[in-house]
């Protein structure tokens, strides 16, 4: 059997990210030693892993080619374009990792060596030689990048693309002497400046194309072989699940998944920046689907739905056969954000609703009238009419009575590029740009989100992008972001795993400016079961956006007074926020921090409102999904909150399942919105259940009994709560409904 080493060129960040899956490299690549090539930190990571220690080797990348040499060469080639600015390491890294794979040939003592992409995991044992002939395989996939072959023709005059398919297959088995000959051929090209082959590659690409992905070691070696050594290799179709990281979680993919994937795929990739989209969760890793369908069937169905990323191709009849053809240019961050038509789920006449609303409110609430004209102008496509609406808005502002301020989105970004992009996209689509400031604090992501956000921030001066290597937790991160709040702007804390549908922000602002004593308002959502939960469930995420556009409309009774708000979408009046300490650091990294802020706002004399005509889509449970100390955090922070406020908000200021079932039973008993009845809740806590009943049944007379003094202090405004049954204004038997023992 042939014996050779397999090189895995990897960064420390990616090595740490995928370390739990690397034992599968050892199990499935049985031709010899696995060698991780990277900085000394990579060596520390693999040697410190119990399952890898003693089974793999590491090579310091600088011992092959010093990174600084390549970096300096590229800086020199881009000197004019950089104009004194520092060259991002990522640009050098793209080329450097390819040069390392080629360079190893100059010291390799074996006939062959293989290179394997560090973000790719084999699904089954790898076979790299044809049994009948003993020849090595060159594996082929379907993609085409013109720039790669432009560079090849400069490096190797007369060479061009001769194989219809691509040699880019996440791995390649190099024959050492052929790679050495390729390197020598490049270095002998006197028409290109430089001495070493990698200097000539850089100079052949040139200033105009260096910032594009304009070289592939796989395509270059494969083309060289195709011209000079056609009989050495056997060509083989190779199928891998390159988009694997958008369907499987690294920490939950299991043996059953790999056994199923192995039916159609040789490997699965978890590319940096790929995260499991909410609409992809529980699909490919679902045992039910795995039993019914093959991996190929599922992926081909999924590929019909998505337009981004690599598509796997099976033969020339595959619908995806023309996919994966690109110019090779690095994608700009703006290409990841698609600002859609704000009227996608609205009509051309929608603005008229808000214009009429503005007229009605001019004499009763000038702030809300101002907001209505502002929204009408945003939704209006008629230039002349839009100008008229803007004039109406300006006229109201000129009275000096309008108190409406701009607001600031405060968003924490952590380890989910895709969700953050969709969140930003929804804001830019559905919110009038002159009404808000966007503040995003990057909270120590390790999956490539920080790099993407940094690049996006460079071209978006209207947004505040704050990068942090440290993870501050939810409360600490929001506090840090709030240091950048513009003077006087209201504050909207929004989770990054959300999408803001049409008119959601308009109705939140309308609620905040309903009265001066409203300190904060919150949206309803699809995630979580309580009075802030819209009971909807759609198979396609875009349907939630359409649903939001349908429900975020004028409503007779949209406001529900409550005792606390959920921090996923919490909109706070600036004056109220200034009277708090912000998020209490004692609740970091999370749990009860939004309860505490709600109580601070209540303690300052303000009301809290849940806004039922402001629906915001929320994925939920993203930040803590990978933590194993959730229960400990919950109990520790509950203790902190009880010590601070004197009661447990998860019990006294919440609506539990029994209480929700009780509320639902009222409708079953025939009560309607117009019904008049009296109800007392014994053990009511702060009165959250009673407040929800009052919202649903406005004519009901509701009151509670609660012995906890601290909880009574924070009774929901408008809900009378008594210390004991004896203090009720009438005997308990005189109430139409008595609720008790609900937990």
- The string of DSSP letters for 697-734 reads -TT-EEEEE---HHHHHTPPTT--EESSGGGSSS-GGG
CB 520 within 8 A of CB 570: yes
Q: Indicate whether 564 pLDDT > 80.
A: yes
| DSSP E strand boundaries for 417-512 | 436-443, 463-468, 490-494, 498-499
Q: Indicate whether 627 pLDDT > 60.
A: no
Q: Indicate whether 579 pLDDT > 90.
A: yes
CB 28 within 8 A of CB 129: no
Residue 409 is classified by DSSP as E
Using CA atoms, how far apart are residues 418 and 80, in angstroms rounded to an integer? 34
CB 139 within 8 A of CB 114: no
Q: Where are the domains of the chain?
A: 6-239, 240-311, 333-403, 405-645, 657-739
**What is the model's pLDDT at position 545?**
94
Q: Between 601 and 447, where is the model more confident? A: 601
Instruction: Tell me if residue 364 falls in helix, strand or coil.
Output: coil
| DSSP E strand boundaries for 365-472 | 407-413, 436-443, 463-468
572-592 average pLDDT score: 90
Closest alpha carbon to 439 in 496, 488, 481, 486: 481
- The full DSSP string for 235-256 is EEE--EETTGGGTS-TTT--HH
Q: Indicate whether 321 pLDDT > 50.
A: no
- At which residue do the structure tokens 């979580």 appear? 528
**What is the model's pLDDT at position 325?**
47
Q: Tell me the helices (H) and strands (E) count for the chain, helix number first.
A: 29, 26
Closest alpha carbon to 147 in 200, 219, 55, 82: 219
Q: Between 300 and 252, where is the model more confident? A: 252
**What is the model's pLDDT at position 319?**
44
Quote the distance between the C-alpha of residue 320 and its chain's center.
Answer: 26
Using CA atoms, how far apart are residues 404 and 266, in angstroms rounded to an integer? 59
Q: How confident is the model at residue 324 (pLDDT cuts 50, 70, 90)?
A: very low
Identify the burial level of 301 via C-beta atoms within 10 angstroms of its C-beta, where 0-12 means exposed, 13-18 middle and 19 or more buried: exposed
Q: pLDDT tens digits for 190-203? A: 999 999 999 999 99
72-98 per-residue burial string, b: 16 or more CB within 10 A, e: under 16 = ebbeebbeeeeeeeebeeebbebbbbb
Q: How confident is the model at residue 69 (pLDDT cuts 50, 70, 90)?
A: very high
**What is the model's pLDDT at position 647?**
93
> Helix 383-398 crosses helix 366-379 at what angle (to 10 degrees)?
160
Q: pLDDT tens digits for 99-114? A: 999 999 999 999 999 9
**What is the model's pLDDT at position 289?**
87
Identical fold at 6-239 and 405-645? Answer: yes
> Taking CA 196 as the corner, what is the angle to CA 190 and CA 202, rounded to the nearest 5 degrees?
80
Q: How confident is the model at residue 675 (pLDDT cuts 50, 70, 90)?
A: very high
Q: How confident is the model at residue 531 (pLDDT cuts 50, 70, 90)?
A: very low
Would you tell me how many other CB atoms lie within 10 Å of the CB of residue 503?
29
**What is the model's pLDDT at position 309?**
61
Q: Indicate whether 580 pLDDT > 50.
A: yes
309-321 per-residue burial string, b: 16 or more CB within 10 A, e: under 16 = ebbbbbeeeeebe
Q: pLDDT tens digits for 128-183? A: 999 988 999 999 888 888 899 999 999 999 888 877 788 988 999 999 999 999 99
Using CA atoms, how far apart are residues 467 and 441, in angstroms rounded to an integer? 6
Closest alpha carbon to 697 in 679, 716, 718, 721: 679
**What is the model's pLDDT at position 292?**
86
> Taking CA 377 as the corner, what is the angle to CA 375 and CA 382, rounded to the nearest 5 degrees?
145
**What is the model's pLDDT at position 2?**
84
Tell me the percentage of the chain whose pLDDT exceeds 70: 93
Q: How confident is the model at residue 533 (pLDDT cuts 50, 70, 90)?
A: low
Just give the CATH number of 6-239. 3.90.550
Quote the pTM value. Answer: 0.62
Q: pLDDT tens digits for 427-474? A: 999 999 999 999 999 999 888 888 999 888 888 888 999 998 888 888
Q: In what order do the strands lie in the sheet with 490-494?
A: 463-468, 436-443, 407-413, 490-494, 569-572, 518-524, 607-615, 559-562
Closest alpha carbon to 201 in 155, 161, 167: 155
**What is the model's pLDDT at position 1?**
66
Q: Which residue(s) pair with 525 in the sheet?
A: 533
CB 314 within 8 A of CB 239: yes
**What is the model's pLDDT at position 724?**
96
Q: pLDDT tens digits for 256-308? A: 999 999 999 999 999 887 788 776 778 888 888 889 888 888 888 777 665 55
Instruction: Tell me if residue 632 falls in helix, strand or coil.
Output: helix
Quote the distance between the C-alpha of residue 695 and its chain's center.
Answer: 34
Prior bond to 487 cis, omega within 30? no
Q: Indicate whether 415 pLDDT > 90.
A: no
Residues 6+ away with beta carbon under 8 Å from 577? 482, 490, 491, 601
Q: Indicate whether 356 pLDDT > 90.
A: yes
Q: How confident is the model at residue 332 (pLDDT cuts 50, 70, 90)?
A: low
Q: How confident is the model at residue 88 (pLDDT cuts 50, 70, 90)?
A: confident
Q: Between 531 and 569, where is the model more confident? A: 569
- Does 3.40.50.150 match the CATH number of domain 657-739? yes
Using CA atoms, how far apart are residues 374 and 432, in angstroms rounded to an integer? 8
Q: Please give the mean pLDDT across all residues of the chain.
A: 90
Using CA atoms, how far apart are residues 198 and 204, in angstroms rounded to an integer? 10
Just give the CATH number of 405-645. 3.90.550.10
Largest CA distance in the chain: 103
């Amino acid at each position: 059997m042939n014996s050779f080493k397999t090189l895995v060129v990897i960064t420390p960040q990616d090595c740490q990210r995928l370390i739990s899956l690397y034992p599968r490299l050892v199990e499935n690549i049985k031709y010899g030693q696995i060698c991780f090539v990277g900085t000394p930190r990579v060596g520390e990571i693999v040697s410190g892993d119990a399952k890898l220690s003693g089974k793999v080797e590491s090579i310091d990348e600088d011992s092959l080619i010093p990174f600084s040499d390549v970096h300096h060469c590229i800086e020199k080639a881009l000197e004019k374009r950089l104009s004194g600015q520092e060259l991002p390491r990522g640009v050098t890294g793209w080329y450097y990792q390819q040069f390392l794979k080629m360079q190893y040939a100059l010291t390799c003592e074996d006939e062959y060596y293989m290179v394997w992409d560090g973000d790719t995991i084999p699904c089954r044992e790898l076979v790299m030689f044809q049994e009948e002939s003993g020849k090595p395989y060159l594996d082929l996939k379907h993609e085409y990048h013109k720039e790669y072959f432009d560079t090849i023709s400069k490096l190797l005059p007369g060479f061009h693309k001769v194989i219809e398919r691509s040699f880019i297959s996440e791995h390649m088995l190099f024959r050492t002497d052929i790679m050495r000959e390729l390197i020598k051929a490049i270095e002998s090209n006197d028409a290109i400046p430089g001495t070493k082959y990698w200097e000539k590659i850089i100079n052949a690409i040139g200033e105009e194309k260096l910032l594009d992905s304009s070289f592939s070691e796989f395509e270059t070696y494969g083309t060289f072989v195709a011209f000079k050594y056609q009989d050495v290799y056997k060509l083989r179709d190779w199928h891998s699940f390159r988009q694997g990281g958008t369907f499987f979680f690294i920490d939950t993919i299991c043996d059953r998944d790999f056994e199923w994937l192995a039916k159609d795929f040789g490997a699965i990739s978890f590319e940096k920046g790929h995260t499991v989209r909410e609409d992809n969760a529980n699909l490919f890793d679902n045992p039910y689907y795995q039993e019914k369908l093959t991996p190929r069937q599922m992926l081909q169905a999924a590929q019909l739905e998505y337009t981004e990323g690599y598509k796997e191709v099976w033969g020339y009849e595959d619908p995806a056969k023309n996919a994966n053809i690109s110019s090779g240019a690095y994608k700009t961050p703006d290409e990841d954000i698609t600002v859609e038509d704000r009227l996608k789920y609205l009509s051309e006449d929608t603005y008229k609703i808000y214009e009429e609303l503005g007229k009605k409110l001019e004499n009763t609430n000038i702030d809300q009238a101002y907001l209505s004209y502002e929204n009408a102008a945003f939704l209006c496509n008629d230039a002349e009419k839009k100008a008229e609406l803007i004039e109406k808005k300006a006229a109201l502002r000129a009275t000096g009575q309008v108190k409406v301020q701009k607001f600031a989105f405060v968003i924490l970004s952590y380890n989910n590029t895709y969700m953050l992009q969709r969140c930003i996209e929804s804001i830019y689509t559905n919110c009038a740009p002159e009404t808000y400031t966007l503040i995003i604090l990057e909270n120590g992501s390790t999956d490539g989100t920080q790099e993407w956000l940094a690049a996006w921030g460079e071209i978006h001066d209207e947004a505040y992008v704050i990068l942090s290597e440290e993870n501050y937790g939810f409360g600490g991160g929001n506090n840090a972001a709030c240091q950048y709040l513009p003077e006087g702007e209201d504050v909207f804390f929004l989770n990054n795993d959300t999408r803001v549908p049409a008119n959601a922000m308009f109705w939140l602002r309308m609620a905040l400016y309903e009265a001066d004593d409203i300190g904060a308002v919150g949206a309803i959502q699809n995630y979580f079961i309580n009075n802030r939960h819209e009971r909807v469930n759609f198979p396609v995420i875009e349907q939630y956006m359409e649903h939001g556009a349908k429900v975020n409309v004028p409503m007779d009774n949209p406001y529900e007074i409550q005792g606390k708000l959920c921090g996923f979408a919490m909109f706070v009046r600036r004056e109220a926020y200034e009277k708090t300490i912000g998020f209490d650091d004692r609740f970091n990294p999370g749990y009860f921090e939004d309860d505490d802020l709600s109580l601070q706002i209540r303690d300052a004399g303000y009301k809290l409102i849940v806004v039922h005509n402001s629906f915001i889509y929320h994925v939920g449970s993203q930040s803590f999904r990978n933590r194993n100390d959730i229960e400990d955090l919950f109990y520790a922070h509950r203790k902190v909150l009880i010590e601070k406020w004197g009661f447990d908000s998860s019990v006294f200021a919440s609506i539990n399942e029994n209480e929700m079932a009780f509320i639902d039973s009222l409708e079953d008993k025939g009560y309607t919105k117009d019904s008049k009845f009296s109800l007392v809740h014994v053990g009511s806590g702060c009165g959250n259940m009673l407040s929800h009943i009052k919202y649903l049944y406005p004519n009901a007379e509701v009151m509670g009994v609660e012995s906890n003094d601290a909880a009574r202090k924070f009774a929901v405004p408008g809900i009378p709560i008594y210390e004991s049954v004896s203090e009720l204004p009438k005997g308990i038997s005189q109430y139409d409904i008595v609720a008790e023992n609900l937990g």
